[in-house]
Amino acid sequence: MSCVHELFDTARLNAISITEVARRLGEVRRAGSVYKTYCPWHEDRHPSLTLYERTNENRCHCFACGRGGSVIDFVMQHESWTFQEACRWLSNEFGISTLRADSQQAWHRSLSSPQPRTRAAVKPAEPTYTYIPKEMVESLVSMDNSLSRCLVQMFDPAAVKRVGEDYLLGRYAMKGLDDYTVFPNIDVEGRVCNLKVQHYETDRFSPRFAHSDPGSCRWLGSIWSAEGRLPKDAQLRSSCLFGEHLTASRRTQTVALVESPKNAIFGALEFPQYLWVATGNKGQLKREVLQPLKGRDIIVIPDRDAIEEWTETVRTMTDLANFTVSDICQRVAPAWEEKYDIADYLVRQHQPMPF
């Protein structure tokens, strides 16, 4: 049997928008004409890592510690991963296929072999995804997580429990904290594609109340793969909506589509007449991701910094569903808050009296 090794298309991986990569792993802020995020090379209390995407550039650099590098370098340092682990996550997350050494050798052999002048078109093989066992998700389900602790300070605890159970929110211990919030991505057929974990500020009087801690966003699929609880070469699907598993049983409800799972949970509590789903990030508003919503009425609620981009994107998909774009996050946002979402609005609506 030939030895099989993963071969990654590092040129394509390093060409992925470094701003989008940083956004999926944590918090990104605009600073003039560039974006910044927390530097993983040193203890960073204020975002000091500059993300460059100028012509022929796609890299990061920290002026505080002097470190930086490529997209792959950033992911390796941010997640404390090896080169292979970082490349595997990027390939899975952004849908860039890997080759295997034996298939590459076969391809080279085919170039030196006589070829017929014509051949029937061969449809590319569908990727073989690894789905996470449902029992691994069910073992984590708990309302005693940091986001739920925020929610019960604003909404009826019984409603928080109901919504949490609908979306199978969970609790996970890592980095010295035992109440990370687990957001499972389960597709319309009930298969678990991946699980995002984040930690939230639970102090009601903190300016960061119900906001995630910097650098707390992780994917359990990648963690479990590195730990050996899933196959090391697991290829996990990234094209799955958060809340997608609810679409089959709620066919008559108008869908409210947002960016983050947190926004979907807030929306489901405040406006239960809609079915709330989330893309997971700004760049995942894609036709293949929205296929489970085909033919439905969809209210699209972009974050403030995504309104123009999402409006243009859904205009190319009017054959897929009946879209209505809401600009509420533009209309109600304070002028100085460029990154503003529906959860920010609802937190302010539920602010306690100062006396």
pLDDT, residue 266, reads 98
pLDDT, residue 347, reads 94
Lowest mean pLDDT among 113-122, 179-188, 340-349: 113-122
Average pLDDT score over the chain: 87
Q: How confident is the model at residue 6 (pLDDT cuts 50, 70, 90)?
A: low
Decide if 37 contacts 27 (C-beta within 8 A): yes
CA dist 211 and 341 (Å) reads: 11
Lowest mean pLDDT among 53-62, 123-132, 212-221, 235-244: 123-132
Lowest mean pLDDT among 94-98, 127-131, 177-181: 94-98
pLDDT in tens, 74-119: 999 988 888 888 888 888 888 787 655 444 444 344 444 444 444 4
Decide if 74 contacts 60 (C-beta within 8 A): yes
pLDDT, residue 135, reads 94
- Domains of the chain, first to last: 10-93 (3.90.580.10), 134-349 (no CATH)
pLDDT, residue 116, reads 46
pLDDT in tens, 28-45: 888 888 889 999 999 888
Q: Is pTM beyond 0.85 here?
A: no
Q: Is the pLDDT of residue 291 over 50?
A: yes
pLDDT, residue 172, reads 97
